[in-house]
């Protein structure tokens, strides 16, 4: 969650590839192997020494968040999901309370 928040603010990150982080790294960050202190130091130094690189990675992450995690995108996805579920329920004869009703 913290990495997605950083990305939404246009901040690059450096992390290890655990959990779902690998999926985010290509969009807004850099990965280093677990227990690789030298690699971590090198990646952080890269970002600090090259503001254009940091800005570019950060902006890529921000765009990714806007395109996949913005309120508008999530709202549209949820509306589509709920609409499909409601349509499916109607087709099966389930009313709003979750009980079956007579089909007409």
Instruction: Please give the average pLDDT of every successive group of 10 residues along the chain, which has 104 residues.
Output: 89 91 83 96 97 95 87 89 88 70 54
In a domain, 14, yes or no: yes
- Say if pTM beats, i.e. exceeds, 0.85: no
In a domain, 18, yes or no: yes
- Structurally, the chain folds into a number of domains equal to 1
In a domain, 104, yes or no: no
Domain with 84, as residue range(s), is: 2-92
pLDDT of residue 68: 84
pLDDT of residue 100: 59
Q: What is the DSSP string of the chain?
A: -HHHHHHHTT--EEE---TTHHHHHHHHEEE--TT-HHHHHHHHHHHHH-HHHHHHHHHHHHHHHHHHTSHHHHHHHHHHHHHHHHHHHHHHTB-TTS-B----
In a domain, 98, yes or no: no
In a domain, 99, yes or no: no
pLDDT of residue 93: 80
pLDDT of residue 102: 57
């Amino acid at each position: 969650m913290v990495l997605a928040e950083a990305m939404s603010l246009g901040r690059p990150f450096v992390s290890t590839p655990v959990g779902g982080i690998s999926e985010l790294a290509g969009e807004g960050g850099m990965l280093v192997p677990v227990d690789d202190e030298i690699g971590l130091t090198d990646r952080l130094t890269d970002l600090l020494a090259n503001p254009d690189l940091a800005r570019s990675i950060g902006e890529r992450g921000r765009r990714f968040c806007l395109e996949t995690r913005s309120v508008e995108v999530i709202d549209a996805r949820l509306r589509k999901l709920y609409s499909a579920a409601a349509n499916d329920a109607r087709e099966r004869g389930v009313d709003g309370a979750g009980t079956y009703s007579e089909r007409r």
